[in-house]
């Protein structure tokens, strides 16, 4: 409370459009929240699992958000664990998936030359890390995918992604 928040606004090409500055007052600007400036106005955003979303509303542990393309996305958080979904049901199902205990023994010590399709790797990655389907799909859409990858290639592609350290620990 009482701190000054300043933010610049840029278009998709990185050209500055202006900026805004206001005091954190608890009404217009809430403490401990992330904001961007869009069309000259403050917009509260969420970075759950490294995915930026514009917050539309919050009811209990459910956030209704918009992604960069204007699609509605829900984020549900429970016991410090969150999941995204295009519907509340999908977010709840993925949260349950993240919270359930998984036997990952079958993936331990995989040969670095093991080759699978991106979809097969996505399922293995989710099983090991608990990554939600929305986040996994968003990660894959940001890349031009080959038809198949080795484990060595997948480790390189996923470095820095949600759950990477856990994935690496299990498969190596």
Domains in the chain: boundaries: 1-46, 48-100, 105-171
Per-residue pLDDT tens for 33-74?
A: 899 998 899 999 998 888 889 999 999 999 999 988 899 999
Query: What is the structure's pLDDT at 69?
Result: 87
* pLDDT at residue 119 greater than cutoff 80: yes
- Maximum CA extent, the chain: 55
Residue with tokens 């389907």: 133
Residue with tokens 């809430």: 30
For residues 133-138, give the mean pLDDT: 86
The encoded tokens of residue 15 equal 């050209």
More confident: 26 or 101: 26
Cα separation, 126 vs 138, whole angstroms: 13
User: Which of these, 57, 89, 83, lies nearest to 162 by C-alpha position?
Assistant: 83
- Give the chain's mean pLDDT: 90
Q: Judge whether 124 and 86 are in contact, CB under 8 Å.
A: no
Q: Are strands 53-59 and 41-46 parallel, antiparallel or unpaired?
A: antiparallel
Give the Cα-Cα-Cα angle 59, 64, 66 (nearest 5 degrees).
160
For residues 13-18, give the mean pLDDT: 91
Q: Between helices 164-171 and 151-158, what is the axis angle to 10°?
A: 160
Helix H or strand E segment including 118: helix 118-129
Percent of all residues in the chain with a pLDDT value above 70, rounded to a whole number: 99
Per-residue pLDDT tens for 67-115?
A: 888 999 999 999 888 999 999 999 998 888 888 767 888 899 899 999 9
The encoded tokens of residue 139 equal 């990660």
């Amino acid at each position: 409370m009482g701190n000054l928040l300043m933010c610049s606004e840029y278009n998709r090409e990185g050209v500055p459009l202006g900026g805004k500055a206001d005091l954190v007052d608890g009404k217009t600007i809430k403490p401990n929240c992330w904001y961007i400036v869009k069309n000259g106005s403050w917009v509260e955003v969420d970075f759950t699992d490294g995915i930026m979303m514009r917050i539309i509303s919050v009811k209990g542990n459910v956030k209704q958000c918009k992604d960069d393309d204007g699609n509605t996305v829900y984020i549900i958080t429970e016991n410090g664990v969150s999941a995204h979904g295009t519907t509340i049901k999908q977010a709840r199902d993925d949260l349950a998936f993240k919270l359930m205990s998984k036997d990952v023994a079958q993936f331990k010590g995989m040969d670095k030359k093991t080759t699978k399709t991106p979809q097969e790797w996505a399922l293995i990655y989710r099983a090991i890390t608990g990554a939600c389907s929305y986040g996994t799909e968003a990660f894959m859409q940001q890349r031009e995918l080959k038809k198949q990858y080795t484990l060595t290639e997948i480790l390189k592609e996923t470095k820095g992604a949600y759950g990477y350290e856990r994935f690496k620990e299990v498969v190596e």
